[in-house]
Structure formats: structure tokens, C-alpha cells
Amino acid sequence: MQTGRLEKLLEFITNEPDDPFLKYALATEYLRLNQADKALEYYENLVTNHPTYVGTYYHLGKLYEALNRKDDAVNTYEAGMKISREQRDNHAFSELQAVYNQLKDLDDDD
């Protein structure tokens, strides 16, 4: 298992503990290493402490889906759509809306 990248990111976050990009990178790296619990911790921290870091919402929602936490995924996509609309980030909004609609369609079929 390649942990060099993880070790570097952990070193960086020690020096800049409130950097949203580093938190996002750590979450993504933990997810790549199949450590969903650690990824979840960082993604949830981002949503709580850096709510305008729009990229988080898609990945956190997808992680919630993978963990069969569909209500949390729906809520995350809704929050992300609201933030992305406020920021006029049409690309992020359309991505979030697509996964939201897909998830809601799956829920309606149940």
C-alpha cells in the first residue's frame, strides 16, 4: 500500500490545520486507501467548517450512498445545490442536481 502521499498530506495539514484543500485531499486519499471512516471524518469536517468548499458535497454524498445512508446523501446534495447556486457555480450545481435526481428516482422506485 502506497502511503507516501498520505504521509505528505498529514505533514502538510500539521502546518496548516485549517486549509480546506488539504482536508479535501486527505479525504480523497483516505477514500482511495479504502479507509471510508477517515474520509468521512474529513468530508464532514469540511461541510461543517468550510461550507462553501463546494466540491465536498458531491463526494460526501457519494460516500453516504456507498454507506447506504441515503437520507444523509439527499440532505448533502440539497445543501450542496443551495451553496453552489449561491456561489453561481453552475457546473457544481448541475453535477449535484444530476446525482440528487438519480438518487431520488431510485427512492421513488422502492
Distance CA 76, CA 57 (A): 6
Domain 4-109 in this protein, CATH class: mainly alpha
Q: Which element (helix H / strand E) includes 35?
A: none
Whether residue 27 contacts residue 44, with contact meaning beta carbons closer than 8 Å, is answered with: no
Residue 88 has which C-alpha cell?
453561481
pTM for this prediction: 0.90
Sequential pLDDT tens for the chain (110 residues)? 456 999 999 999 999 999 999 999 999 999 999 999 999 999 999 999 999 999 999 999 999 999 999 999 999 999 999 999 999 999 999 999 999 999 988 665 55
